[in-house]
A and B are shown apart, each in its own frame.
Chain A
Amino acid sequence: MRRHVEGRNWSKVVAFIAVGAIIVASCGSSKKSATTAAPTGTGSQSTTAPSGTTAPSGTTAPAGTNAPSGGAHELVIDRDMDINSLDISASYCDTCQIFNTAVYETLITVDPADPNKLLPRLATSWQANTDNTVFTFKLDPAAKFADGSQVEAKDVKFSWQRLGNLKGSASYLMAGMKSIDDSDPTTVVITFDAPNSAFLPIVAASYLGIINSDVATAQGATDAADAATADKAGDWFLAHSAGSGPYQLESYTQGDKLVLTRNDKYWGAKKPAFPRVTIAEVKDSSSQLQQLQSGDADISMQISVDAVGQLQGNADVTTKIVDSYNYVYIALSPGAAGGEKLQDVTVRKAIKEAIDYDGAIQALVAGKGKKQASPIPNGFIGSAGLPLPEYNLDDAKKLLSAAGLADGFELDATYPDANVYGVDFNLMMQKIQQDLAKVKINLKLTPIQFTDWITRINAKGIPVTAVYFAPDHTDTSQYIQYFGLIPNSFWAGSAGGGAAGKPMDNPKESDLLKQALGSSGDAKAKAYTDAGQQMIDDEIIIPIVNTQLVLASRTNITGMHYSACCNLDLGLLGLAG
């Protein structure tokens, strides 16, 4: 009998604790309190046209500290990773940019504070000839790979030729390369078939990092013309690295984590701060937030802007909202089956004017985003001075009436079921569907998996779709090459109906790109601006929001930044105190 009574009491105690726990848990914020750095909501990038990207020669190395500041603290970064390869020459993803920059080094890099300013890294100086066809780089004789061997011109030649010949997604960066002279171990001379003033910013792209060619070739890597089929080093790069950067690859478990260790022999001025860096696969924003709050993570890379408020009052966490060059857009494809009514540019213009951009930005990213004029994002050369899209319902109706479509029509809108840069594509397309319903255009929304979307857009195009874009480097040429109606452009083909159709063409854009690549300074900026205006007039690409980024880290992490070329340069991070 006594045991029975004890059992009852015990049950009550357990029940009491459980109820108490739920009440405590649901009582507002946790005990961790104090002030959070308030989100500024202001961007750090200028929207005025910079004077050009012609690089200064012989710029001095950025100041850095010699002593590692991280001590024994191991850095943990939460991120929804999208790694397609850890072979720098075959990689092409946002997380790859972070990995490549930490493990490999480029000849020059971009100043995180000013995307149009180039800084030395493996090269101490560089110069272009007058017509931008020959580029000469002087390598830093102190530059060493992690195995202690010197970074030489032959490594640069190997890395760049391999990048081009592997025919991966980033191979386009080496298009037009004619030859590379590596006869002097400390001098690299690269020659192009045609003027290419974009090359210096391209050199700063993480994919152009330099591989230790002796190590890589010993593992089956090749830079020969048939590298796409002959190169056998892809598997080796999943578990090893051969770079000169501040960190080295320790291990990678797909779907789990990427672990880097400090390169103790790092040659650069700023020594890597952390003995170990783990990039953990954490898919959703709320988990990233929780782990940052608890201290399990030092940096969370994809916290949504509307979750920032939950961090207010937490002195252990610092958040800052900065401008980015990422954006989401919708694309209209007149050549796609079912998109015939879009062949009239007036109809495309009407669709553009029927979208309430401010309302969309408010609904999608809580107002933490900007309107964008053309496919060239705010802050890039050629973006300034272009007219921002405006919501004008009356004008949209008039345009449709003039096109004989005042009674409306239906359009297929198939898009990837994704949430990118904090924008839920389903929500965005529902908002656009509501807007277009006001001009009697009925969008039939079909969200599909990204792989299905790629298959379909390449095969026959999609009348209305939504996608996203982040820069590979800091030159504007990439936007014309991808979005412009020029030969081999992705969107010229897709808007024309993919493989089943005929690519669209706007010869003026080809001419303007050629002009820009052959010039520098103001002339180059003007050519890019004109190309931007042409792309606006095409009415194919309609940017919805240029998103902002949340930089969220534990307060003791220093050097948090967003870099246009490299996303996040781990070598610049440190630990306060």
Chain B
Amino acid sequence: MPFLLLGIVTIAFCISRLIPADPLASIVGVRQMANPTIVAAARQKWGLNGSILEQYWVFLKNLVRGDLGISFRTRKPVTHDLLDRLPATLELAVGALVVGGVGGVALGAYAASKKDKMADHLSRGFSLLGSSLPVFWIGLVFLFVLYARLGWFPGPGRLPPRTKPPGHVTGFYTIDSLLDGNFTLFRQCLWRLVLPCFVLGWAYMGQLSRLVRAAMLDEINSDYVRTARAKGLAERLVMRRHVLRNAWLPTLTILGFSFAQLLTASVLTETIFQWNGIGSYAVQSANTLDFPGINGVSLFAGLAFLLANLATDVLYAVADPKIRLA
């Protein structure tokens, strides 16, 4: 795992340094870029004065100590920036996983049980729509219709305007508002999660429901299912205890992978819904060539995928007694 992470940060480091643009432009500004004294001072201050190899060596030394450097843009340690934004992204990702996971499994199971009937076609159409429509488009349309026109849902942002965030304990506004005993704020925060989580989760709901449907249809035709039915077991129990349980394993893989994706690929959703999480941090870092920020986000993404894979492996062993972890 450490070697994999090292590989990820090394590739991110090299790509950012090979771009034919100077990050100092966004640090000192247009006017001062023509001033060699100021440029030299800034280059030294931000550790951009050595060769790429020297910069890489300094980066690695700091990384070993858990120091990802100071962001050129926010002027704060990148670790602080990422931890600050992580709760926002996690809230969004968990919500989207619930939408995508529960919705996907339910829809897939329902479609499988109604194979080739109207309900099957409708649920497949719904899932296809979710996976094929661009997230940014759905987000904008939902905001336009459900917020701006109908006023059924709140606008973008984690908090209502003119509202102070709850006391900082975890950084999760939903949890912190509960800890504050502020149930009104809790409801508001939860309500604000609905649209972005649905937009983000819909795409995964589509993928998952198709997978669950296919896996369940495979299982439905298995001998053990026929045996269970022959024994007179109720269809509901056959589906829940036998079919869904065995179709669950490939679903688990997708769920783990989806969670890592949700953590790292919510860039558009965060931008549209003004969600100040790691996705929007990644965009801003890339736009301003904030090297420490870019490296930090890359490391976070690598970690997210590795941990999600690890969690999936562990859950696999729990779900299937035949599998044992080494």
Within 69-95 of A, Cβ neighbours of B (below 8 Å) are at 74, 76, 84-85, 92
Q: A84-B29, A169-B28, A454-B33 are in contact. Are A24 and B150 (CB under 8 A)?
A: yes
A76 to B159 Cα, complex, angstroms = 13
Whether A282 is near chain B, meaning CB under 8 Å from some CB there, is yes
Within 264-299 of B, Cβ neighbours of A (below 8 Å) are at 271-272, 274, 276, 280-281, 284, 287-289
Q: A296-B155, A297-B161 are in contact. Are A169 and B32 (CB under 8 A)?
A: yes
- Point out the residues of chain A lying under 8 angstroms from B73, CB to CB: 254
* B34 A493 Cβ-Cβ under 8 A: yes
- Point out the residues of chain A lying under 8 angstroms from B22, CB to CB: 451, 454-455
Whether A30 is near chain B, meaning CB under 8 Å from some CB there, is yes
Whether A402 is near chain B, meaning CB under 8 Å from some CB there, is no
B218 to chain A, nearest CB (A): 26
Instruction: Give the contact stretch, choosing among A106-114, A155-163, A287-295, A525-533.
Output: A287-295
Q: A228-B38, A451-B288, A455-B22 are in contact. Are A290 and B31 (CB under 8 A)?
A: no
B91 to chain A, nearest CB (A): 14
A293 to B149 Cα, complex, angstroms = 10
A49 to B154 Cα, complex, angstroms = 50
- Point out the residues of chain B lying under 8 angstroms from A282, CB to CB: 156, 274
- Point out the residues of chain B lying under 8 angstroms from A169, CB to CB: 28-32
Whether B74 is near chain A, meaning CB under 8 Å from some CB there, is yes
B208-239 CB mask vs A (1 if < 8 Å, else 0) is 00000000000000000000000000000000
Whether B144 is near chain A, meaning CB under 8 Å from some CB there, is yes
Within 220-248 of A, Cβ neighbours of B (below 8 Å) are at 228-229, 234-235, 238
* A167 B162 Cβ-Cβ under 8 A: no
* B155 A490 Cβ-Cβ under 8 A: no
The interface size bin for chain A is 35 or more
- Point out the residues of chain A lying under 8 angstroms from B19, CB to CB: 452
Whether B45 is near chain A, meaning CB under 8 Å from some CB there, is yes
- Point out the residues of chain B lying under 8 angstroms from A290, CB to CB: 143-144, 147-148, 155
Q: A229-B41, A452-B20 are in contact. Are A294 and B271 (CB under 8 A)?
A: no
- Point out the residues of chain A lying under 8 angstroms from B156, CB to CB: 282, 287, 291
- Point out the residues of chain A lying under 8 angstroms from B14, CB to CB: none
A290 to B273 Cα, complex, angstroms = 12
* B25 A451 Cβ-Cβ under 8 A: yes
Within 151-183 of B, Cβ neighbours of A (below 8 Å) are at 151-152, 155-157, 160-162
Whether B21 is near chain A, meaning CB under 8 Å from some CB there, is yes
A493 to B30 Cα, complex, angstroms = 12
Q: A92-B29, A256-B276, A454-B22 are in contact. Are A278 and B284 (CB under 8 A)?
A: no
Q: Is the interface of A mostly helix, strand, loop or mixed?
A: helix
Whether A178 is near chain B, meaning CB under 8 Å from some CB there, is no
* A294 B162 Cβ-Cβ under 8 A: no
Whether A19 is near chain B, meaning CB under 8 Å from some CB there, is no
B48 to chain A, nearest CB (A): 12
Q: What is the chain B residue whose CB lies nearest that of A259?
A: B164
- Point out the residues of chain B lying under 8 angstroms from A92, CB to CB: 29, 31
* B162 A74 Cβ-Cβ under 8 A: yes
* A167 B41 Cβ-Cβ under 8 A: yes
Q: What is the chain A residue whose CB lies nearest that of B152?
A: A21
B26-51 CB mask vs A (1 if < 8 Å, else 0) is 10111111110110010001000000
- Point out the residues of chain B lying under 8 angstroms from A576, CB to CB: none
Whether B145 is near chain A, meaning CB under 8 Å from some CB there, is yes
- Point out the residues of chain A lying under 8 angstroms from B35, CB to CB: 167
A25 to chain B, nearest CB (A): 4
* A234 B75 Cβ-Cβ under 8 A: yes
Most A CB atoms within 10 A — which of B25, B35, B146? B25
Specify which of B23, B29, B161 is in contact with A280 (CB 8 Å cutoff): B161
Specify which of B30, B148, B160, B162 is in contact with A454 (CB 8 Å cutoff): B30
Within 243-280 of A, Cβ neighbours of B (below 8 Å) are at 253-256, 276, 278, 280
Most A CB atoms within 10 A — which of B272, B274, B288, B289? B274
A238 to B76 Cα, complex, angstroms = 10
- Point out the residues of chain A lying under 8 angstroms from B143, CB to CB: 287, 290
A554 to chain B, nearest CB (A): 12
B19 to chain A, nearest CB (A): 7
- Point out the residues of chain B lying under 8 angstroms from A21, CB to CB: 145-146, 150, 152
- Point out the residues of chain B lying under 8 angstroms from A24, CB to CB: 149-150
* A451 B30 Cβ-Cβ under 8 A: no
Specify which of B32, B34, B147, B289 is in contact with A167 (CB 8 Å cutoff): B32
* B271 A283 Cβ-Cβ under 8 A: yes
B244 to chain A, nearest CB (A): 19
* B287 A255 Cβ-Cβ under 8 A: no
A222 to chain B, nearest CB (A): 15
- Point out the residues of chain A lying under 8 angstroms from B34, CB to CB: 458, 490, 493-494, 499
Q: What is the chain A residue whose CB lies nearest that of B119?
A: A11
- Point out the residues of chain B lying under 8 angstroms from A168, CB to CB: 28-29, 32
A296 to B147 Cα, complex, angstroms = 11
* A291 B155 Cβ-Cβ under 8 A: yes
A290 to B75 Cα, complex, angstroms = 32
Within 434-449 of A, Cβ neighbours of B (below 8 Å) are at 449
Q: A21-B145, A167-B41, A229-B45 are in contact. Are A451 and B162 (CB under 8 A)?
A: no
A10 to B276 Cα, complex, angstroms = 38
A283 to chain B, nearest CB (A): 7
Q: What is the chain A residue whose CB lies nearest that of B271?
A: A283
A92 to B30 Cα, complex, angstroms = 10
Whether A22 is near chain B, meaning CB under 8 Å from some CB there, is yes
B146 to chain A, nearest CB (A): 8
A280 to B73 Cα, complex, angstroms = 18
Whether A172 is near chain B, meaning CB under 8 Å from some CB there, is yes
* A458 B74 Cβ-Cβ under 8 A: no
Q: A25-B149, A451-B23 are in contact. Are A490 and B31 (CB under 8 A)?
A: yes
8 closest residue pairs by CB, A with B:
A454-B25, A169-B29, A452-B21, A290-B148, A256-B276, A25-B145, A455-B22, A74-B162
Excluding A25-B146, A294-B151, 14 further A-B contacts by CB distance (< 8 Å) are A24-B150, A25-B150, A168-B29, A253-B276, A256-B276, A282-B274, A287-B143, A290-B143, A291-B156, A296-B161, A451-B289, A452-B20, A458-B25, A490-B30
Chain B interfacial positions (CB closer than 8 Å to A): 19-23, 25-26, 28-35, 37-38, 41, 45, 73-76, 81, 140, 143-152, 155-157, 160-162, 271-272, 274, 276, 280-281, 284, 287-289
Chain A interfacial positions (CB closer than 8 Å to B): 21-22, 24-26, 30, 74, 76, 84-85, 92, 167-169, 172, 228-229, 234-235, 238, 253-256, 276, 278, 280-283, 286-287, 290-291, 293-294, 296-297, 449-452, 454-456, 458, 482, 490, 493-494, 499
Write 11 A-B pairs (CB below 8 A) sorted by A numbering: A167-B37, A168-B29, A276-B162, A282-B156, A287-B143, A294-B148, A296-B161, A455-B22, A458-B34, A482-B31, A490-B31
